[in-house]
Amino acid sequence: MREELVAGVDEVGRGPLAGPVVAAVVVLDVDDPMYGAYRDSKRLSARKRHAMYHHIRRHARAFALASASVEEIDRLNILQATFLAMRRAMDRLPLRPDRVVVDGRHAPPLGHPAVEAVVGGDDRVQCIAAASILAKVVRDRLMSLMAVRYPEYGFEAHKGYGTRAHLSAMRCHGITPLHRKSFEPVRRLLG
| Among the listed residues 123, 127, 80, 83, the one whose alpha carbon sits nearest the alpha carbon of residue 101 | 127
Residue 1 within any structural domain of the chain: no
**Residue 6 clears pLDDT 80, i.e. is over it:** yes
**pTM of the predicted model, to two decimals?**
0.96
Where does the pLDDT of residue 3 fall: very low under 50, low under 70, confident under 90, or very high at 90 and above? confident
- Tell me the residue type at 59: H
- Compute the 3-state secondary structure of the chain and give helix, strand, coil in percent, each to the nearest 5: 45, 15, 35
**CATH number of domain containing 34:** 3.30.420.10
pLDDT of residue 152: 97
CA distance 132 to 130: 5
Inside any domain, residue 123: yes
Instruction: Kindly report, residue by residue over 22-72, the tens digit of the pLDDT.
Output: 999 999 998 999 999 999 999 999 999 999 999 999 999 999 999 999 999
Asked if residue 40 is part of any domain, the answer here is: yes
Residue 1 has pLDDT above 80, yes or no: no
- The parent domain of residue 104 ranges over 6-190
The number of folded domains in the chain is: 1
In a domain? residue 42? yes
How far is Cα 26 from Cα 89, in angstroms, rounded to an integer? 10
- Per DSSP, 18 falls in state B
**In degrees rounded to 5, what are phi and psi of residue 167?**
-60, -40
Q: How confident is the model at residue 174 (pLDDT cuts 50, 70, 90)?
A: very high
In terms of Cα–Cα distance, which of 37, 25, 90, 19 is closest to 61? 25
Q: Does 129 have pLDDT greater than 90?
A: yes
- 67 - beta bridge partners? 22
Q: Give the integer Cα–Cα distance in Å for 182 and 175.
A: 12
How far apart, in whole angstroms, are the C-alpha atoms of residue 35 and residue 29?
A: 8
**What's residue 50's pLDDT?**
97
91-117: pLDDT as tens digits = 999 999 999 999 999 899 999 999 999
Pairing state between β 115-118 and 99-103 = parallel
Q: Is the pLDDT of residue 2 over 80?
A: no
